[in-house]
């Protein structure tokens, strides 16, 4: 399923935006208002050395070309870079008991696709003549390099089943939500129409959801009666032009204004920022699936990237047999082993069967603990072990060296099986990057190379651990 962008008021038709424009996306209008001046005019603050710039070359962290913020001069650590008063961020706010066509539509958006709810608000402001936020909206990209806009063949080129499921799920939602929106607004009077009478289709909805998912921040929102504040996603004009880095040189904070109770959103220099350096925020410790789905880029050698597997006794049987450590307990755990699996939420009522390999943990603690327990026949040893220790990859063989080696070899075999599910190898993929392809094809190939690389890295790490255990076993036997 492929979504192409459509047109709304104020802008030339988005349908003319080609996928090849992803790496150099144009803005909604050819000469949008000056965003720096707008923020200052509306009571915000922008450091005199903060400028908008086009990055001519791809950054070392793998982020694509595009507009961002740079320091035109050295900026000391602790300096305020940008300050937005409370009325500038764009939110989706509904007062108690308030009902409108827009709020009624928002109630049909599942929580996991929260970006669509704020996206409806964005579309409403985009369609409104003289919108307060038009200087901001007109500066937004015309296209987004997220997979819902990929041609069908490039969605297939991603090759990773869990990501393909997420992409197809989002595409299905947009197509279904498009129909719901059309039906709901068919007989709405013009004065009550949330988009000024304009037709909104799946493409416009996809653009809005992508704009929000790639730019919104979750911050403290409106105040509750008890004085606490809601956790609310919001679009932060200008701030959302900061690029991502795990080693960010800036950070977002919220402060109350001294003169009243309103909340300021600030970006502060976390380190000294040197001349011509980009302003960078940490978008979160995310894997490449989320970076690609929500932001449209991939981080090379992402330390938080991982693969997702379903905890399946048949899969574990196949892996353990391949590793030469087959155990009947995977398919038929003993009652005491099954009790542990229930504690790990890998069995029983409402189990969570998604487990991960890779990332900063190397392997999800629930999977490692399950393997250790299922490969051990010593009930007393398991019951005597500390739960945290059983989950720790750095623990010193809590159930014995042979048990630990068997668990690690099973993980290696799981990695081998995961690699076999990809139709191509890295050696097939890498030469493709030397050829001329569309931006979406290149992004899909880079994504799958990174996914396969992390699997190989995990295999290498656990192979080294098995060798270390073998050395310990040899020393112990002498």
| Cα–Cα nearest to 53, from 68, 74, 35 | 68
pLDDT for the residue 24: 53
Burial of residue 331 (CB within 10 Å: 0-12, 13-18, 19+) is exposed
* Tens digit of each residue's pLDDT (9 = 90 or more) over 436-457: 788 899 999 999 999 999 999 9
Quick check: 15 pLDDT over 50? no
Q: Name which of 62-66, 190-194, 246-250, 361-365 the model is least confident about.
A: 62-66
* Position 223 confidence tier, pLDDT thresholds 50, 70, 90: low
> How far, in Å, are 39, 46, 127, 260 from residue 42 at the CA level?
5, 11, 21, 17
Residue 467's CB: how many other CB atoms inside 10 A? 12
Quick check: 41 pLDDT over 70? yes
Task: Say what angle helices 202-215 and 114-127 make with each other, to 10 degrees.
Answer: 110
Fill in the DSSP letter of residue 310: E
| Cα–Cα nearest to 278, from 76, 64, 59, 82 | 59
Mean pLDDT of the chain: 88
Buried b (16+ CB within 10 A) or exposed e, 56-76: eeebebbbbbbebbbbeeebe
Fill in the DSSP letter of residue 27: B
Quick check: 246 pLDDT over 80? yes
The C-alpha atoms of residue 225 and residue 222 are separated, in whole angstroms, by: 10
Question: Which residue did the predictor score with more confidence, 108 or 478?
Answer: 108
| Cα–Cα nearest to 371, from 409, 339, 428 | 409
298 CB-near residues (< 8 Å, 6+ apart) = 62, 288, 291, 292, 443, 446, 447, 450
* Position 269 confidence tier, pLDDT thresholds 50, 70, 90: very high
Fill in the DSSP letter of residue 363: B
pTM: predicted TM-score of the whole model, two decimal places: 0.89
- Which tokens go with 156? 């297939």
- Which tokens go with 298? 């991939």
Question: Which residue did the predictor score with more confidence, 113 or 24?
Answer: 113
* Tens digit of each residue's pLDDT (9 = 90 or more) over 95-145: 665 668 999 999 999 999 999 999 999 999 999 999 999 999 999 999 899
The C-alpha atoms of residue 372 and residue 404 are separated, in whole angstroms, by: 7
* Position 330 confidence tier, pLDDT thresholds 50, 70, 90: very high
| Cα–Cα nearest to 284, from 272, 269, 294, 271 | 294
pLDDT for the residue 23: 47
Fill in the DSSP letter of residue 26: P
* Position 2 confidence tier, pLDDT thresholds 50, 70, 90: very low
Answer yes or no: are the C-beta atoms of 204 and 117 closer than 8 Å.
Answer: no
448 CB-near residues (< 8 Å, 6+ apart) = 157, 158, 159, 160, 422, 424, 429
pLDDT for the residue 436: 79
Quick check: 63 pLDDT over 80? no
Question: Which residue did the predictor score with more confidence, 268 or 387?
Answer: 268
* Position 10 confidence tier, pLDDT thresholds 50, 70, 90: very low
Quick check: 68 pLDDT over 80? yes
* Position 4 confidence tier, pLDDT thresholds 50, 70, 90: very low
As a whole number, mean pLDDT of residues 351-356 equals 96
Residue showing tokens 């424009």: 21
pLDDT for the residue 30: 83
Quick check: 165 pLDDT over 80? yes
247 CB-near residues (< 8 Å, 6+ apart) = 280, 282
Question: Which residue did the predictor score with more confidence, 172 or 260?
Answer: 172
Helix (H) or strand (E) holding 243: strand 243-244
Quick check: 166 pLDDT over 80? yes
* Tens digit of each residue's pLDDT (9 = 90 or more) over 201-220: 999 999 999 999 999 998 87
């Amino acid at each position: 399923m492929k979504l192409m962008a459509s047109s709304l008021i104020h802008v030339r038709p988005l349908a003319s935006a080609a996928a090849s424009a992803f790496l150099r996306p144009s803005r909604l209008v050819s000469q949008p208002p000056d965003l720096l001046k707008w923020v200052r005019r509306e009571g915000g603050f922008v450091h005199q050395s903060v400028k908008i710039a086009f990055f001519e070359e791809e950054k070392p962290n793998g982020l694509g070309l595009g507009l961002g913020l740079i320091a035109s001069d050295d900026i000391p650590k602790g300096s305020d870079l940008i300050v937005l008063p409370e009325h500038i961020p764009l939110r989706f706010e509904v007062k108690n008991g308030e009902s409108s066509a827009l709020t009624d539509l928002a109630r049909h958006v599942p929580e996991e696709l929260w970006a669509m709810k704020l996206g409806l608000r964005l579309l409403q402001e985009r369609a409104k003549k003289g919108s307060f936020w038009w200087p901001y909206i007109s500066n937004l990209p015309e296209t987004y390099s997220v997979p819902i806009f990929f041609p069908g063949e490039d969605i297939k080129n991603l090759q990773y089943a869990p990501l393909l499921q997420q992409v197809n799920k989002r595409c299905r939602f947009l197509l279904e939500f498009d129909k719901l929106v059309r039906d709901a607004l068919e007989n709405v009077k013009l004065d009550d129409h949330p988009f000024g009478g304009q037709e909104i289709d799946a493409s416009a909805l996809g653009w809005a959801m992508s704009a929000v998912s790639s730019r919104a921040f979750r911050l403290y929102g409106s105040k509750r009666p008890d004085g606490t504040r809601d956790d609310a996603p919001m679009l932060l004009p200008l701030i959302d032009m900061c690029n991502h880095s795990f080693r960010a040189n800036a950070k977002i904070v919220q402060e109350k204004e001294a003169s009243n109770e309103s909340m300021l959103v600030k970006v502060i220099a976390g380190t000294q920022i040197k001349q011509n350096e980009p302003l960078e925020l940490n978008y979160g410790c995310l894997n490449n699936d989320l970076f690609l789905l929500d932001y449209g880029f991939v981080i090379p050698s992402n330390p938080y990237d991982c693969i997702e597997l379903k905890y399946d006794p048949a899969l574990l049987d196949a892996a353990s047999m391949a590793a030469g450590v087959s155990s009947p307990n995977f398919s038929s755990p003993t009652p005491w082993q099954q009790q542990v699996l229930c504690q790990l939420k890998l069995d029983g009522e409402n189990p969570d069967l998604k487990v991960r390999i890779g990332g900063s943990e190397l392997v999800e603690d629930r999977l490692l603990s399950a393997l250790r327990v299922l490969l051990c026949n010593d009930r007393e040893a398991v019951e005597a072990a500390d739960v945290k220790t059983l989950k720790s990859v750095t623990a010193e063989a809590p159930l014995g060296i042979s048990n630990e080696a068997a668990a690690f070899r099973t993980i290696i075999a799981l990695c081998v099986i995961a690699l076999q599910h990809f139709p191509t190898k890295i050696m097939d993929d890498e030469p493709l990057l030397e050829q001329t392809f569309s931006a979406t094809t290149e992004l899909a190939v880079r994504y799958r190379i990174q996914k396969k690389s992390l699997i190989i890295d995990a295999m290498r790490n656990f192979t080294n651990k098995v060798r270390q255990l073998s050395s310990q076993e040899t020393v112990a036997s002498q």
